[in-house]
């Protein structure tokens, strides 16, 4: 692939500052919604930055027909370089590296400045180690800051789920892990149902993410007309502890963000906790207390996350499904 230089090319100027902020302060940057966009769909690629997803995922893998693999790669590369998505986290789902398309996808995505590479069908930690080596070589070759491309592992099989802790801990570049439900249930010889078929995998992926201190994304919900079913699934995954979900349709974004938004009471309490923590830090106090009760670090961290969710999409409106 030939490399052209032009002003504003993210491949020349490193990652968007927003991406660096996410890497340094993950609790302040929500990872709730990741919108899948088929890389071959020019109309979707030219408009989807307006929908307000936390991240968009340009898909070069299963959402793209074989005969469109090369044209989709070019389309995604030009979209990344266009600057349209400068304020949104950009993710490219490449084809696996052992397919005829994987290396070319990776080369194009890293050179064009993708914030994150999503590796589908990750089964072992070695898959990520190999990906990291390939990414580093491309970064060096094109002059992109080494280490600036982040990685996401998508786990889509029994092997991936069983190896989730090793995968999640395999690279400092790996900032998130996603469970992919459709391929997973095929591998498990079952079908999507009431969620019980995903329960073990969800828990395994989530525990791996927490051990490695990275973000965890839940599966896509395929029926875009079934708002009630979508919200029921969101309720389950939020309770389990997922940071968010991969999505296939813009209509799912606000529903998800509203479900993750705090109530006004939760926000007020979080602000008090953070104020108390900041006061204690300013006074050089080792112990943070609020109303006579000691507050520990995980509570302060959770309070900061609550404030970041409210900053991103307001407080939760229980009746309308939207946020204020």
Ligand X SMILES: CC(C)(COP(=O)(O)OP(=O)(O)OC[C@H]1O[C@@H](n2cnc3c(N)ncnc32)[C@H](O)[C@@H]1OP(=O)(O)O)[C@@H](O)C(=O)NCCC(=O)NCCSC(=O)C[C@@](O)(CC(=O)O)C(=O)O
CB of 107 to ligand X, least distance (A): 22
- For residue 166 the two structure tokens come to 């090793």
- Nearest Cα to Cα of residue 63 among 32, 34, 41, 33: 41
Is residue 59 involved in binding Mg ion (CB under 5 A)? no
Please, are residues 217 and 31 in contact by the beta-carbon 8 Å criterion?
yes
Residues within the interface to ligand X (CB under 6 A): 35-38, 43-44, 48, 59, 62-63, 120, 154, 156, 178, 180-183, 219-220, 224, 246, 248-251
CB of 231 to ligand X, least distance (A): 16
Q: Considering the complex, state which of residue 157 and residue 306 has its C-beta at the smaller distance from Mg ion.
A: 157
Q: How many residues bind Mg ion (CB under 5 A)?
A: 3
- For residue 246 the two structure tokens come to 């991969």
- Each residue 144-183 as x (binds Mg ion by CB under 5 A) or -, in order, gives ------------x-----------------------x--x
Half-sphere exposure of 49 (CA within 13 A, CB side): 14
250 binds, among Mg ion, ligand X, none (CB under 5 to 8 A by kind): ligand X
Question: How far, CA to CA in Å, does 196 sit from each of 199, 202, 244?
Answer: 5, 10, 19
181 binds, among Mg ion, ligand X, none (CB under 5 to 8 A by kind): ligand X
CB of 257 to ligand X, least distance (A): 16
Helices (H), 112-219: 125-142, 158-162, 164-168, 181-187, 199-212
User: Would you give the end-to-end CA distance of the chain in angstroms?
Assistant: 46
Please, are residues 81 and 48 in contact by the beta-carbon 8 Å criterion?
no
82 binds, among Mg ion, ligand X, none (CB under 5 to 8 A by kind): none
**Using CA atoms, how far apart are residues 277 and 73, in angstroms rounded to an integer?**
47
CB of 182 to ligand X, least distance (A): 3
CB of 62 to Mg ion, least distance (A): 5
Q: Considering the complex, state which of residue 127 and residue 156 has its C-beta at the smaller distance from Mg ion.
A: 156
**Using CA atoms, how far apart are residues 201 and 82, in angstroms rounded to an integer?**
38
CB of 169 to ligand X, least distance (A): 21
Q: Considering the complex, state which of residue 127 and residue 183 has its C-beta at the smaller distance from Mg ion.
A: 183
Contact footprint for Mg ion (CB under 5 A): 156, 180, 183
């Amino acid at each position: 692939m030939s490399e052209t230089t032009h002003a504003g090319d993210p491949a020349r100027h490193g990652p968007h500052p927003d991406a660096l902020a996410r890497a340094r302060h993950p609790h302040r940057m929500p990872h709730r919604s990741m919108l899948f966009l088929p890389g071959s769909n020019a109309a979707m690629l030219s408009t989807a930055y307006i929908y307000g997803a936390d991240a968009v995922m340009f898909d070069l893998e299963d959402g793209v027909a074989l005969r469109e693999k090369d044209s989709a790669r070019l389309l995604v590369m030009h979209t990344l370089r266009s600057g349209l998505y400068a304020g949104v986290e950009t993710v490219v789902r490449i084809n696996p590296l052992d397919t005829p398309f994987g290396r070319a996808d990776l080369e194009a995505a890293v050179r064009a400045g993708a914030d994150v590479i999503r590796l589908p069908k990750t089964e072992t930690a070695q898959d990520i180690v190999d990906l990291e080596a390939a990414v580093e070589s491309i970064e060096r070759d094109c002059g992109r800051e080494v280490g600036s491309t982040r990685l996401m592992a998508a786990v889509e099989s029994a092997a991936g789920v069983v190896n989730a802790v090793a995968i999640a801990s395999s690279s400092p570049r790996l900032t998130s892990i996603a469970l992919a439900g459709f391929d997973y249930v095929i591998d498990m010889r079952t079908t999507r149902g009431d969620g019980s078929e995903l329960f073990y995998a969800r828990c395994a992926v989530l525990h791996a993410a927490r051990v490695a201190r990275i973000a965890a994304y839940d599966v896509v919900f395929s029926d875009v007309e079934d708002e009630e079913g979508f919200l029921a699934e969101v309720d389950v995954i939020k309770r389990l502890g997922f940071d968010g979900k991969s999505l296939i349709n813009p209509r799912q974004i606000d529903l998800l963000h509203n479900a993750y938004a705090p109530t006004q009471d939760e926000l007020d309490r979080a602000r008090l906790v953070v104020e108390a923590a900041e006061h204690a830090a300013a006074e050089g106090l080792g112990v943070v207390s609020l109303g006579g009760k000691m507050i520990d670090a995980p509570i302060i961290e959770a309070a900061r996350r609550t404030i970041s969710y409210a900053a991103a999409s307001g407080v939760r409106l229980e009746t309308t499904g939207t946020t204020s």
